[in-house]
Copies of this chain bind each other. A is one copy, B any other.
Amino acid sequence: MHKPFLGTCYYPEHWSPNRWASDAQRMSNLGLSVVRIGEFAWSRIEPQPGQFDWQWLDQAIDTLAAAGLKIVLGTPTATPPRWMLARHPDMLAMDEDGQPRGFGSRRHYCFSHDGYRQESVRIATLMAERYAANPQIYGWQIDNEYGCHDTVLSYSDAAQRAFQRWLADRYQSIEELNHAWGNVFWSMEYDNFENVGLPNLTVTEANPAHVHDFRRFSSDQVIRYNRAQADAIRAHSHAPLIHNYMGRITDFNHFRLAEDLDIASWDAYPLGFLLDRSGADEQRQLAYQRQGEPDFQAFHHDLYRGVGRGRWWVMEQQPGPVNWAPYNPAPLPGMVRLWTWEAFAHQAEAVCYFRWRQAPFAQEQMHAGLLRPDSEPAPVMSEVVQVVDELANIGSIEPAAAPVAMVFDYSSCWAWETQPQGQSFDYFALQLALYRGLRRLGLSVDIVAPEIDALDAYQFVIVAGLMHWNPTLLAAIESFDGIVLVGPRSGSKTENFRIPESLPPALPGLNCKVAYVESLAPGAERPLQGGGYVQNWLEALETDVQVLERTADSAAQPVLVANENLHYLAGWPNDEAALRMLGQLCKAANINTHEMPPGVRQRCTASHRFLFNYNAFESQYDGVVLPAAGVHWQTL
């Protein structure tokens, strides 16, 4: 039985202790169940190295607990205090230009710095020892928003030494590395691992195999760092371990990191993300300026449900205007309710609003909270009250299996950032485009890791832009009876960033080779015989399998081909073509589809059908009239 709940993020250290009890009581009265605290408070917990002040945190936890609130306690390692830098002057990350990323904001540590990792374990251990026995501790948040502000990649000395060790582990001999990377090209061969530098500040592009191993290494450093804290806490606590991931940060492998945690969560800022990372064009940005991109949140909900192996939260939910996007309008009235219900429809366990009260100082003073700085309720409050009421009445929201799965591969993100081949090729954008097509067909989607070992739960599986095949996935595909759509660039490299000998897509069971590829500038799209066109990317296929779709020009190039259930899509379809092709493949997979009106989306669980209107105007679907920003559900 799925009974989601609400929470908020609170910073007792920002306010006089006099306020804590009334704040806690107001949270509780409002109907919130959980409160996250502590994740930036290191300078208050340990004001000087080795000198601790636990009293205030004890009191804050007791006060919140006394009001019936459960607590998610964060380790404060995203914000090491100033004295840490004096102890470890070389702990700073270095940017690609070789500049240190200094103290004065947050996330200024290098994941490869052993000393700082040990300090992080130390503080996490102390917190776990102190609070593990407290029954009000719901769980632990480790650090905060890994990778935010471009902090995964560091070009520090510590990173360089660690990378050399990582390479020595991976390749065992320098000859093997030289061979794997193809270093004979341009006389880039190394004599020993100590001579391998980081792939920044080269005259022209570095070897993509070099860059890609650096990306893998950098992801592994995050995982190693997180695991050290996770192990430290687990030694004392059985409570769930959580991290709050971000939107469209793909610099580390979330699936692998999450293996050391219990619950995935993410920080959902639909309006900020629309402008600064959704990839929406100007027209789309204007249409959804106060609502957010209609598929961006859902994509992450489904991604993090996969990352969390079913358990996931929204740890920070935008409640009003934020401070960090290029422009910061207010959500359309109703949207915070919509976002909350959309998360629940995608099986979120909890949605926590960031933050309880707007801070009148420091970097985020223009970031709305549930309360204004003067402690009066912000406009969002009425929507939270409404959600609390609705939650009390809706009953259990029973999960339903999704008919479609999409494989999402972090390593492929890195690969095509390293080698876009055409500047509009972006792995995430390709996934989002196909996901949008499925959503416009009214479908629920699972997003799965590329090492998935069974696909039988699905009728239709999409693998697009996958850099290289792994044996587990190949075996799963081989034994899968449903429809498989393999999208452009899949299998186009080996694990070592080489073109496979048999040429892409190198998929057993599909006799087809990519002879060459073209990247297409805006305006150079190629029309398709069935309507719509191919944009960004088009592959020239050499094949003798069935051709389902061709370009509409004189070349009549095959674009969609099939051998039984295996399909290959040799280009990047625009929205119209994607909708059409995905619809045809769903039909082949015996999946019922319903084309949604623009801006309207649905999510069906086993118990309910939810409809969401991202439009700023009234819309209709299936006899239901949805007001602007409207949510509607019906029991199934």
User: A residues engaging B (CB < 8 A)?
Assistant: 11, 13-14, 40-44, 47-48, 76, 79-83, 86, 93, 97-108, 148-149, 151, 181-191, 195, 197, 199-210, 275, 282, 285-286, 289, 320-321, 323, 326-330, 358-366, 368, 372-374, 376, 378-379, 419, 421-424, 496-503, 513, 515-521, 523-524, 540
A348 to chain B, nearest CB (A): 26
Residue of chain B at shortest CB distance from A48: B191
A535 to chain B, nearest CB (A): 11
A181 to chain B, nearest CB (A): 7
What are 16 A-B interface contacts by the 8 Å CB criterion?
A: A42-B187, A44-B184, A48-B191, A82-B195, A101-B202, A102-B203, A104-B197, A104-B207, A185-B364, A207-B362, A208-B362, A289-B521, A327-B519, A327-B520, A327-B524, A330-B516
Instruction: Give chain B residues whose Cβ lies under 8 Å from the Cβ of A197.
Output: 102-104
Determine the distance from Cα of A365 to Cα of B501 in the docked complex, in whole angstroms. Answer: 12
Instruction: Give chain B residues whose Cβ lies under 8 Å from the Cβ of A11.
Output: 185
A456 to chain B, nearest CB (A): 34
Known: A43-B184, A107-B203, A188-B43. A378 touches B524 (CB 8 A): no
Instruction: Give chain B residues whose Cβ lies under 8 Å from the Cβ of A327.
Output: 422-424, 519-521, 524
Residue of chain B at shortest CB distance from A86: B195
A50 to chain B, nearest CB (A): 14
A410 to chain B, nearest CB (A): 22
Determine the distance from Cα of A320 to Cα of B190 in the docked complex, in whole angstroms. Answer: 32
Flag if B149 contacts A203 (CB, 8 Å): yes
Known: A44-B187, A521-B289. A182 touches B362 (CB 8 A): yes
Instruction: Give chain B residues whose Cβ lies under 8 Å from the Cβ of A82.
Output: 188-191, 195
Determine the distance from Cα of A200 to Cα of B100 in the docked complex, in whole angstroms. Answer: 11
Determine the distance from Cα of A148 to Cα of B86 in the docked complex, in whole angstroms. Answer: 37
Determine the distance from Cα of A108 to Cα of B40 in the docked complex, in whole angstroms. Answer: 40
Determine the distance from Cα of A190 to Cα of B40 in the docked complex, in whole angstroms. Answer: 15
Flag if B516 contacts A372 (CB, 8 Å): yes
Flag if B186 contacts A363 (CB, 8 Å): yes
* Given A106-B203, A108-B202, A329-B524, 9 further pairs, Cβ under 8 A: A43-B187, A104-B207, A106-B186, A149-B203, A181-B362, A185-B361, A286-B524, A358-B499, A376-B515
Residue of chain B at shortest CB distance from A44: B184
Instruction: Give chain B residues whose Cβ lies under 8 Å from the Cβ of A47.
Output: 189
Flag if A104 contacts B206 (CB, 8 Å): yes
Flag if B13 contacts A184 (CB, 8 Å): yes
A507 to chain B, nearest CB (A): 16
Determine the distance from Cα of A208 to Cα of B368 in the docked complex, in whole angstroms. Answer: 17
Instruction: Give chain B residues whose Cβ lies under 8 Å from the Cβ of A105.
Output: 186, 188, 202-207
Known: A187-B79, A540-B330. A501 touches B360 (CB 8 A): yes
Flag if B202 contacts A102 (CB, 8 Å): yes
Determine the distance from Cα of A321 to Cα of B80 in the docked complex, in whole angstroms. Answer: 49
Flag if A209 contacts B361 (CB, 8 Å): yes
Residue of chain B at shortest CB distance from A46: B187
A86 to chain B, nearest CB (A): 8
Flag if B516 contacts A203 (CB, 8 Å): no
Known: A204-B149, A210-B104. A328 touches B519 (CB 8 A): yes
A498 to chain B, nearest CB (A): 5
Flag if A185 contacts B363 (CB, 8 Å): yes
Determine the distance from Cα of A26 to Cα of B324 in the docked complex, in whole angstroms. Answer: 59
Other-chain contact of A515, B210, B289, B372, B422 (Cβ < 8 Å): B372
Other-chain contact of A373, B208, B289, B423, B503 (Cβ < 8 Å): B503
Known: A101-B201, A275-B521. A326 touches B187 (CB 8 A): no
Other-chain contact of A499, B195, B363, B365, B524 (Cβ < 8 Å): B365
Instruction: Give chain B residues whose Cβ lies under 8 Å from the Cβ of A187.
Output: 40-44, 76, 79-81
A459 to chain B, nearest CB (A): 35
Flag if B423 contacts A326 (CB, 8 Å): yes
Instruction: Give chain B residues whose Cβ lies under 8 Å from the Cβ of A207.
Output: 104-105, 362-363
Flag if B99 contacts A421 (CB, 8 Å): no
Determine the distance from Cα of A304 to Cα of B40 in the docked complex, in whole angstroms. Answer: 47
Flag if A328 contacts B421 (CB, 8 Å): yes
Known: A201-B99, A209-B362. A14 touches B518 (CB 8 A): no
Instruction: Give chain B residues whose Cβ lies under 8 Å from the Cβ of A496.
Output: 361
Instruction: Give chain B residues whose Cβ lies under 8 Å from the Cβ of A540.
Output: 330, 379
Residue of chain B at shortest CB distance from A41: B187
Determine the distance from Cα of A181 to Cα of B14 in the docked complex, in whole angstroms. Answer: 12
Flag if A330 contacts B501 (CB, 8 Å): no
Instruction: Give chain B residues whose Cβ lies under 8 Å from the Cβ of A515.
Output: 372, 376, 378-379
Other-chain contact of A203, B101, B359, B378 (Cβ < 8 Å): B101
